[in-house]
Amino acid sequence: MQLSGTRARISLRVGDPGLLAAFLVVAAALVGFVLYPTLRVLAYPAVSDYLAAPHNTRWIAAMRNSLMMMVLSTASATLVGFVYAYATTRPNLPGRTAFRQVALLPLFAPPFMVAFAYILLFGRQGLITKQLLGLNVNLFGWQGLWLVQTVAFFPYAALIIAQVLEAINPTLEYAARDLGASEWTLFRTVTFPLARPGVAAAMLIVAISVLADFGNAVVLVGDMPLLATEAWFRIEGLGDLSGAAVVVSVLLLPTVGLFLLERVWVSRRLYTAITGRGGRLTRPPTPWYFLTPLLVFSIGVAIFVLLVYVAVLAGAFARTWGYNWTLTLDHWRLALGQSGPHLVNSIKVGVASALVTSSLALVAAFVTSRHVFRTERALDFLAVLPAALPGVFIGIGFLLAFNQPPLVLGGTPWILILALAFWHIPFGYQAAVAGMKQIDRSIEEAASNLGASGLQVLRDVYLPLLRGAFATSFVTSFIRAVTNLSIVVFLVTPRNLVATYAILSMIGGGFWGAAAALTTALLAVTFVAVGLARVALGRGLRGLPAG
Amino acid sequence: MRRVLVVITCLVLGAVIMSPRVQGQGGKVVIYSALDAPVTNEILKAFERTSGLQTEALTLAAAGTLATRIRAEKVRPQADVFLGGSIDFHAPLAKEGLLDAYKSPRLAEANLAPQFYDPNGYWTGWYIGALAIMYNRDRFEREMAPKGIKPPATWDDLLNPAFKGQVVLPSPITTGGGFIFTAAQIFRFANEDRAFEWLKQLAQNATFTPTAPAPITLVSRGEALVGMNWGHDIRAMAVNQGFPVELVFPPDTATEIGGVSIIKGSPNPDGARRFVDFMLSRVPQDINAKYGLRYPTRTDAPVPMGMPALTSLKFVAYNRQWAIDNMQRLREKWQSVIAK
């Protein structure tokens, strides 16, 4: 483990044209597609609307509640994610691959469906709580939301932390053991400190996702004001774009705070683990007294996650979900008949936006790590900013910004693809930045001593080593794009309808069976697409279940 | 090699995605519909048959979101027609200058009562919905009947302390139905403050859901005992689906008028006008009555199956113009006084 601070940085001269070009492309993309729409939305309300905000007691309550949920859900989701990631990176845990696959499932959650599934299972008349356990549980309220958010967001933490844990060189663990460290001391002094950048990155992403969580909140805490839902209420109920813009800009305050905190805590140190020297050993097996509780924990979490999807599957085949369990294929006929083409569109949009996200995120992470151009901090912020903005904000921003000259994208699929792509940049960016932190500078030094330019360093040194980060970001962005609803609602066009829109339509009409069927179909298609992507991106998927 | 394959795949995908970009509007009518998909599809199919024009629709049972989208697309409207949703959403758009006025030649033949169309021609009403109370029959028989409590039949019954925590209504802030319910109480008491006192008491008993269909789902599955929603939705989504739900129209209920309007600056104004002409005919109103169980505005159209005749229901004296004009203020008042 090394600490930086005094280590001299490689500074590639500004005369390096390839690097300059990359910088300009990244800067133009981020400014044009992140900053510009954001400013369009922020500039929409009048100054008086902003000044009136602190006097709005409901919005103060919303801020308080959002912060409370953020603290609670981030803590629990990161904790669960960490233990889960730790468990699944122990080489002798039985069923590791299966556990990792299960952890991906909550990412596939179209809004509303999963929250309703929870109510079906764990509500007052819930299958589990009432029929099985005889309890009278009220899931509505912040406690229910806390539970659902923990399960919904722990995969983000698990994915990021698992990637970091996997990259820790086993020789460090062997050395510690040789020196007589117990399992717990090993964890405390070697594993956890090395995993800190991952934990910090995970907490940032989870915290911001919780702040912006809309689908679960709407179903479970309709009464309790929250910042993310207030924006939607303003739009749906009052048609008040100005008020929505004000509420969302209030959301930016805690986000900026979190961002600064993470930068301060993590960025001051380097956590070099990939040194480019020496071979890789397999990790030593974990003793049974550590492994058994980990296994039990993983099984518990996995069952919890799977139950919800089993409920959705059951809903697709049952005549009336939760009431009449006779099997039928009618829902499937309705769903696929109407929405077969929508599924195809979802995949197309997902692939295109995920490619844009992952490629741009990687190049952006590289550019901002060069510390050559003074504006890195700004680009860094722009790359993480979209995670703080609720989908509604992005949807409206793109609609306001790109439905008119100079760049007219409205009416084409590209407005939706780019909105989704740039909304997901923070995930790819954080993964790439965390991955980069682990790569020793000496590899790069060696390359540039041999005459490599900036872009050649990117292509030959970082790209191969960051394949895992690229793959993780591609898969995460793809899944999120395919299951997104909040942006889709504003940017979809009649010609390019996607599956989540159709699901919402069905729910709105009360056709739960068909919605469940289409959700299952979407899940299946997404799984297949993710499998294909993993095959195409080949070996080196360190952050993903590689079997 | 793999890199080459990836690049080729990207190019192919790009080409595939770019291809359906044919914009050709020629004769196409684009519709934003706030109705459910089956009704919308039937109506559009019928329109295509009779007019020979092609249609494209964005169907979302969230009229407020569609209205906001129309606002945000102001500079370059994507759609021609705003279909469905109560005129509480169409009228404000007209005030903001986002709609085109059009007095259809069919109006005389349709013989609508004057409250069903805008005198300036900005919107036309083609269906009516009435608010009703619903309750879960099974749970009622199991839990309430033994205590001698009778099923709810009037708005005041919703305040019954026996139902505490078991009542669900759509939120007045985010749904048209919830708002009309609130306004109806104001008209019932003929006094805004008394009405808000009553609503405060209701809020002790009830939960307000942000989406309109949610109360129906909750009562159907027994998660809640009593609720309120549009009569036609209760019937179509709960009763006709086999759930143990009863619906009853209280004696001072309120209605919504479902509208259709033409968006200003739309790509195909001519097609939009022909669509409005079509909406005034019997065909769409019959379709809506059949599939959506909503009441038609034309007097010569039949009553939806299973629903009581509109003339048999008793309504509160509802001043629609006042309600629309005060919608913003009343919703904000609700937010600050009742929803904490």
B339 vs A153: which has the higher pLDDT: A153
Percent pLDDT > 70 in chain A is 88
Q: Considering CB atoms only, which of A61, A235, A506 is closest to B65? A: A235
pLDDT digits (tens, 9 = 90+) for A486-499: 788 778 888 888 98
Q: Do A403 and B76 touch (CB under 8 A)?
A: yes
C-beta separation of B38 from B294 below 8 A: no
Q: What is the pLDDT of residue B133?
A: 95
Q: Do A494 and B10 touch (CB under 8 A)?
A: no
Question: How would you classify the pairing of strands B245-248 and B206-209?
Answer: unpaired
**What is the number of helices (H) and of strands (E) in chain B?**
14, 11
Per CB-CB distance under 8 Å, the chain B contacts of A538 are 2
Q: Do A497 and B38 touch (CB under 8 A)?
A: no
Within-domain flag for A264: yes
State whether residue A332 is helix, strand or coil: helix
Q: Do A123 and B173 touch (CB under 8 A)?
A: no
What is the chain A residue with the closest CA to B337? A58
**Site from B22, B32, B334, B335 to mutate, A interface, most A CB atoms within 10 angstroms:** B335
A269 pLDDT exceeds 60?
Answer: no
Per CB-CB distance under 8 Å, the chain B contacts of A232 are 174, 210
A223 pLDDT exceeds 50?
Answer: yes
Q: How many domains does chain A have?
A: 1
A73 pLDDT exceeds 90?
Answer: yes
A136 vs A315: which has the higher pLDDT: A315
- A112: phi then psi, degrees, rounded to nearest 5: 75, -50
Q: Of the spans A3-17, A53-67, A120-134, A248-262, which averages the highest pLDDT?
A: A53-67
Residues in a beta bridge with B134:
B227, B247
Mean pLDDT of chain A: 80
What is the chain B residue with the closest CA to A538? B2
Q: What is the pLDDT of residue A279?
A: 52
Tell whether A238 lies on the interface with B, counting CB pairs under 8 A: yes
Within-domain flag for A6: no
B245 pLDDT exceeds 90?
Answer: yes
Count contacts between A and B (CB, < 8 Å). 168
Could you tell me the pLDDT band of residue B23, with boundaries at 50, 70 and 90?
A: very low
Q: What is the pLDDT of residue A544?
A: 37
Q: Do B217 and A399 touch (CB under 8 A)?
A: no
In whole angstroms, what is the distance from residue A318 CA to residue A514 CA? 10
Within-domain flag for A140: yes
Residues in a beta bridge with A274:
A439
The 8 Å CB, 24+ separation contacts for A324-331 are A324/B242, A328/A513, A330/A513, A331/A511, A331/A513, A331/A514, A331/A516, A331/A517
In whole angstroms, what is the distance from residue B263 CA to residue B75 CA? 12
B134 pLDDT exceeds 90?
Answer: yes
Within-domain flag for A396: yes
Task: Work out the average pLDDT over A17-21.
Answer: 80
pLDDT digits (tens, 9 = 90+) for A360-400: 999 898 888 877 667 788 888 888 888 777 777 788 788 88
pLDDT digits (tens, 9 = 90+) for B74-116: 888 889 999 988 888 898 899 889 999 998 888 888 888 888 8
Within-domain flag for A247: yes
What is the chain B residue with the closest CA to A320? B241
A266 pLDDT exceeds 70?
Answer: no
Tell whether A507 lies on the interface with B, counting CB pairs under 8 A: yes
Domain span holding position A213: 17-537
Residues in a beta bridge with B83:
B33, B260
Shortest CA gap A300–chain B (Å): 27
Tell whether B64 lies on the interface with A, counting CB pairs under 8 A: yes
B5 pLDDT exceeds 80?
Answer: no
B315 vs A10: which has the higher pLDDT: B315
Per CB-CB distance under 8 Å, the chain A contacts of B90 are none
Within-domain flag for A208: yes
In the stretch 91-110 of chain B, residues with CB closer than 8 A to chain A read: 92
**Site from A112, A323, A485 to mutate, B interface, most B CB atoms within 10 angstroms:** A323
Q: What is the pLDDT of residue A96?
A: 87
Q: What is the pLDDT of residue A5?
A: 41
Q: What is the pLDDT of residue B15?
A: 59
B16 pLDDT exceeds 70?
Answer: no
**Site from B223, B324, B332 to mutate, A interface, most A CB atoms within 10 angstroms:** B223
CATH of the domain at A337: 1.10.3720.10
Q: What is the pLDDT of residue A276?
A: 47
Tell whether A237 lies on the interface with B, counting CB pairs under 8 A: yes
User: Nearest Cα to A424, choosing from A471, A479, A378?
Assistant: A479
Shortest CA gap B37–chain A (Å): 7
C-beta separation of B241 from A510 below 8 A: yes
Task: Work out the average pLDDT over B30-35.
Answer: 91
Within-domain flag for A2: no
Residue ranges and CATH numbers for the domains of chain B are 27-128+256-307 (3.40.190.10), 130-255+320-337 (3.40.190.10)
Q: Using the Cα atoms of residue A487, residue A490, residue A492 and residue A498 in order, give the sign of their dihedral.
A: positive
In whole angstroms, what is the distance from residue B228 CA to residue B157 CA? 12
**What is the number of helices (H) and of strands (E) in chain A?**
26, 2
Residues in a beta bridge with B207:
B168
B4 vs A18: which has the higher pLDDT: A18
Within-domain flag for A8: no
Q: Of the spans A18-27, A113-122, B243-252, which averages the highest pLDDT?
A: B243-252
Question: How would you classify the pairing of strands B245-248 and B99-100?
Answer: unpaired
